[in-house]
């Protein structure tokens, strides 16, 4: 379990716009470290205050372990201490999660983002508390608790948040249900327990910041980090009019998700920008010609690429 000083330091650093970066892969499904460097520069130059690897955008729960380690190490190297690097821990069991946590600590990340266990649907609250407690006991890193129930099938409840918040190394909550009622209940419990709160659903960023969130973790920031960072900054200083305007602009960019499966659409958009390739996990549906045309159309309409691209 981390010291109070380390906990306070991470709380001081965790705020603002933290993109959940993709995991760039070659056509052979191996790590593309050159693309990691390009994407890192892109998001940090755009105003990212942290980098979150191996989340849903980063395909963390599905990558081969050696690929995940290599990509994480490449992000740590590319970031070079300029902002915190957070690594996602999404596993079917606590045993696997502990192993991953220890490995990513050795790689040099600054914090871990812990999802609920993803397979057996046991008594939810106690299972989640046991899971997070065991990971906290196995690592010295700060922990961010990550609620994404539509993928884990294990919702984290306000009761569980209150119990987890008693663990010294837990510093924040990332909430990605996309449901405002769920978010507000969890955010209220987290803030009352002294945790920082981050919104992971892009459409709810401005509203969440207006209600006291500390930042956001938007996948679309891989494509438009500057826009996402400006939205978060406006919300944090209380400029709700500007934040709502920037939210509408961000929503327009998010239209590219409708071109096919959302992650392959996101990776295809980054390929159009020349930052990474479009390769994703083999089970994920690649975009067809119409989908790729739709991605290009969205990028042109929002001004990310030129009309002739």
The catalytic site residues sit at: 146, 174
- Nearest to 199, CA basis, from 144, 241, 280, 248: 144
User: For the chain, how far is it from start to end, CA to CA, in angstroms?
Assistant: 51
CA distance 33 to 24: 7
Locate tokens 């803030």: which residue? 191
Q: Please count the other Cβ atoms lying within 10 Å of the Cβ belonging to residue 304.
A: 18
CA distance 210 to 285: 36
Return binding residues for pyruvate: 217
CA distance 94 to 158: 21
Strand partners, 170: 143
Contact criterion met (CB below 8 Å) for 280 and 286: yes
- Nearest to 49, CA basis, from 245, 298, 264, 231: 231
Locate tokens 């010295």: which residue? 140
Torsion of CA 190, 17, 90, 285, to 10 degrees: 130
């Amino acid at each position: 379990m981390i010291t109070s000083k380390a906990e306070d330091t991470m709380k001081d650093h965790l705020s603002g716009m933290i993109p959940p970066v993709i995991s760039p892969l070659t056509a052979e499904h191996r790590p593309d470290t050159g693309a990691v460097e390009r994407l890192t520069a892109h998001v940090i130059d755009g105003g990212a205050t942290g980098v979150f690897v191996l989340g849903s955008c980063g395909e963390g729960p599905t990558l081969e372990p050696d690929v995940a380690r290599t990509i994480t190490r490449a992000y740590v190297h590319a970031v070079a201490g300029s902002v915190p690097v957070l690594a996602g821990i999404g596993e079917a069991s606590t045993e696997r999660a502990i192993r991953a946590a220890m490995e990513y600590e050795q790689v040099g990340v600054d914090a871990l983002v812990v999802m609920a266990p993803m397979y057996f649907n046991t008594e939810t609250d106690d299972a989640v508390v046991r899971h997070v407690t065991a990971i906290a006991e196995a690592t010295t890193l700060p922990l961010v608790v990550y609620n994404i129930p539509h993928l884990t099938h294990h919702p984290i409840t306000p009761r569980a948040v209150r119990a987890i918040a008693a663990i010294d190394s837990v510093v924040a909550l990332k909430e990605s249900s996309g449901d405002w009622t769920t978010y507000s209940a969890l955010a209220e419990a987290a803030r009352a327990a002294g945790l920082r709160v981050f919104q992971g659903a892009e459409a709810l960023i401005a509203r969440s910041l207006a209600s006291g969130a500390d930042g956001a973790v938007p996948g679309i920031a891989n494509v438009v980090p500057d826009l996402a960072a400006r939205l978060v900054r406006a919300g944090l200083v209380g400029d709700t009019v500007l934040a709502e305007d920037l939210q509408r602009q961000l929503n327009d960019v998010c239209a590219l998700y409708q071109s096919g499966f959302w992650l392959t659409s996101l990776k295809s958009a980054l390929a159009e920008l020349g930052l990474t390739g479009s390769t994703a996990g083999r089970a994920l549906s690649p975009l067809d010609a119409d989908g790729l045309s739709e991605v290009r159309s969205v990028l042109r309409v929002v001004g990310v690429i030129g009309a002739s691209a």
